[in-house]
Amino acid sequence: MSDIIQIDIDAILAAKAGRKARFVPRFLVSYLKKIVHQDEVNEFLRINHDKRDLAFIGAFMKYFNNSFDIKGLENLPDDGRFTFVSNHPLGAQDGLGLAYILGRKYEGRIKLLVNDLLMNIPHISSFWVPINKTGKQARNFPQQVNAAFESDNNIVMFPAGICSRKRGGVIRDLEWKKTFITKSIQTQRDIIPIHFEGQNSEFFYRLANINKMLGLKFNIAMLYLSDEMFKNRNKTFKVTIGKPIPWQTFDNSKKPAEWAQYVKELVYTL
């Protein structure tokens, strides 16, 4: 039982705040435990502590009673290595869902570039190239990305980097970064666009907009991704897979950032 990973908000606060942790009001600690669903998550981790990779993701799908209505499976080539890019409406079910769909298709030969809730799940860390903007990992990030693209694994990316936001009543990704374009050209990978249908709560979008309005460096909305994950229980998500775009398409007629926007717009037409 010693290898069972558990979430402990009290221990996290003690590690982060030291002696000052005792001054954090107990009602706030209880609230944090509630929004991250500490008890439910720990129960799931206890039950599935021995599972890894696709087996763990399958257990997640069963526990949350999530399924997928997939269209365009015929657009997934049997052979080769590709860059899969998708919008990022949720934070958990979209990343895990694509890992599940593509991981089964390509027998686990996938690497996902992630920087939110998913990078904190060690049971599937063999699939991740974690994006962290601070510390040692940030210094090693370019090398990790290069190694992933040079490998035989299929790359899965959310080019926006963060979950979709709601602006003007429309739920949509923010700007897509150009990395998937430049690296796909360098490693001669065709790009396969995917649209994942889903949304978080109105509370999440309001909080994210307030966070931006106040100019806070810490993404408060990220604290609520676990709560959003539970709100998306018992749902079927529509996933649409587009046709592969040859890497030669991305020539000098547009800048890489413009090609990234082109693919983003294409995803939203699927």
Mean pLDDT by 10 residues, the chain (270 residues): 74 80 87 93 93 94 97 96 97 94 96 75 84 55 86 95 93 96 97 97 94 81 92 97 98 97 98
Predicted TM-score of the model (pTM): 0.91
Which structural domain range is residue 5 located in? 1-50
Examine the domain organization and report whether 44 and 145 are in the same domain.
no
Question: What is the tally of structural domains in the chain?
Answer: 2
Examine the domain organization and report whether 109 and 9 are in the same domain.
no
Q: What pLDDT is stored for residue 117 in this prediction?
A: 62
How many CB atoms neighbour CB 71 within 10 A? 14
Distance CA 232, CA 61 (A): 11
Distance CA 173, CA 185 (A): 23
Identify whether 158 is part of a domain: yes
Identify whether 61 is part of a domain: no
How many CB atoms neighbour CB 24 within 10 A? 15
Task: State the pairing for strand pair 110-114/236-241.
Answer: unpaired
For the domain that residue 72 is a member of, what is the CATH number? Answer: 3.40.1130.10
Residue in 108, 269, 253, 93 with CA at minimum distance from that of residue 193: 269
Identify whether 1 is part of a domain: yes
Examine the domain organization and report whether 106 and 193 are in the same domain.
yes
Identify whether 2 is part of a domain: yes
- Residue 117 amino acid letter: L
Question: Under a CB-based contact definition with an 8 Å cutoff, are residues 260 and 193 in contact?
Answer: no
Examine the domain organization and report whether 90 and 158 are in the same domain.
yes
Q: What pLDDT is stored for residue 54 in this prediction?
A: 95
16 contacts: CB under 8 Å, gap ≥ 6: none
Examine the domain organization and report whether 38 and 149 are in the same domain.
no
Q: What pLDDT is stored for residue 1 in this prediction?
A: 42
